[in-house]
Amino acid sequence: MADRREEKERLRRERLAAQRTRGSSERRRLILGYIAAGVLAAAVLVGLVVVIASGDEEGEGNLPGQAHIEPEIGVFTGLEPDDREGTSPPDIEFGDLEESARRAGCELNLDLPEEGRTHFEDEKRGDRPGAYKTNPPTSGNHFASGETGSGAIADGAYLTKPSNARFVHSMEHGRVLIHYDPELPEDEQLAIKGVFDDKPDGLIMFPNPDQPYAVAVTAWTQMVGCPEYDPLVLDVIRNFRDSYIQQGPENFPISL
């Protein structure tokens, strides 16, 4: 009888030991599951933070598509992009620059004397009276950063006027600039924007309250100024663009 009791006691102890082992294993699995879930949750949280942070960091570079800004080509810090959708332009009526300018009542000032090409680091210098001989400027000394030599405005459409010293630098790189009076009616602004949207590469468009024209188009040593807006100004802009884009002394590449 004693042997039987001892055997039963031994079996009971083994069952208890096995139960404790299974319990410990289950607790370990449960703890490991909690740890894994916590790590996963932390990873998700970190991922969200990274996405949010990267979205904030990319805010300046997250450009409106209708502004057609090319940040690889220049700078746009402090300039408000013009992401308005322009009016689809009509077919060109007069494909000759001189004829279209004459019919639209615009003044052609072509092959002007070059006023200089050296760089300076005081950006405001170009906005001083007499800094350039034409209005808008068509050539001359201009702003460039001493560290990188950059300073030209990125191709694109803007709602704020860049400094003279920066957009002169852009013309040196072969850009064509569209200046318009900010007092023009919205439909006329959108008509001009439609021409820009149609073929934006190498173009820069912005309001210019300092010029004496309703619309002016400039390139390096070239200008056409239109005292009044006329629908044929759209022909003038396109003819000027096709004649003088990438005709600067230091042309940067564009995709046409």
User: For residue 161, what pLDDT is reported?
Assistant: 97
User: For residue 45, what pLDDT is reported?
Assistant: 40
Per residue in 57-81, pLDDT (tens digit) is: 333 444 668 899 988 888 898 999 9
User: Which DSSP letter does residue 229 get?
Assistant: -
3-state secondary structure of 219: strand
- What percentage of the chain reaches a pLDDT higher than 70? 73
Residues 76 and 74: their CA atoms lie apart, in Å, by 7
| pLDDT of 51 above 90 | no
Per residue in 197-230, pLDDT (tens digit) is: 999 999 999 999 999 999 999 999 999 999 999 9
Question: What's the pTM?
Answer: 0.75
The backbone region for 105, taken as left when phi is positive above 0, alpha when psi lies in -120 to 50, beta otherwise, is: left
Mean per-residue pLDDT over the chain, rounded? 83
Q: Which residues of 56-94 are buried (b: 16+ CB within 10 A; e: fewer)?
A: eeeeeeebeebbbbbeebbbbeebebbbbebbebeeeeb
Same domain, 223 and 150: yes
Same domain, 140 and 51: no
User: For residue 30, what pLDDT is reported?
Assistant: 46
Residues 212 and 226: their CA atoms lie apart, in Å, by 9
User: For residue 53, what pLDDT is reported?
Assistant: 36
**Per-residue confidence band for 21, with pLDDT thresholds at 50, 70 and 90:** low
Q: Which of 27, 59, 91 is the last residue of a domain?
A: 59
Reduced 3-state DSSP string for 157-204: EECCCCCHHHHHHHHHCCCEEEEECCCCCHHHHHHHHHHHHHCCCCEE
Mean pLDDT of 156-177: 96
Same domain, 97 and 125: yes
In 3D space, the residue among 148, 211, 143, 149 whose CA is nearest the CA of residue 177 turns out to be 211
| pLDDT of 158 above 70 | yes
Query: Which residues span the domain enclosing 46?
Result: 1-59
Same domain, 46 and 73: no
Which residue type sits at 188?
E
250 in a structural domain: no
User: For residue 254, what pLDDT is reported?
Assistant: 80
Dihedral sign of CA atoms 247, 83, 95, 177 in order = negative
Higher-pLDDT residue of 143 and 20 is 143
User: For residue 239, what pLDDT is reported?
Assistant: 98
Per residue in 109-147, pLDDT (tens digit) is: 999 999 999 988 888 898 899 999 999 999 999 988 765
Is there a contact between 138 and 222 (Cβ–Cβ < 8 Å)? yes
Give the strands of the sheet with 222-226, arranged side by side: 107-109, 222-226, 215-219, 176-180, 203-207, 156-157
Got the DSSP string for 13-70? HHHHHHHHHHHHHHHHHHHHHHHHHHHHHHHHHHHHHHHHHHHHHTTTT---GGG---
256 in a structural domain: no
Residue 219's DSSP bridge partners are 222
| pLDDT of 169 above 80 | yes
Same domain, 223 and 110: yes
User: For residue 33, what pLDDT is reported?
Assistant: 52
Q: Structural domain tally of the chain?
A: 2
Joined together, the tokens standing for residue 68 give 């057609």
249 in a structural domain: no
User: For residue 7, what pLDDT is reported?
Assistant: 61
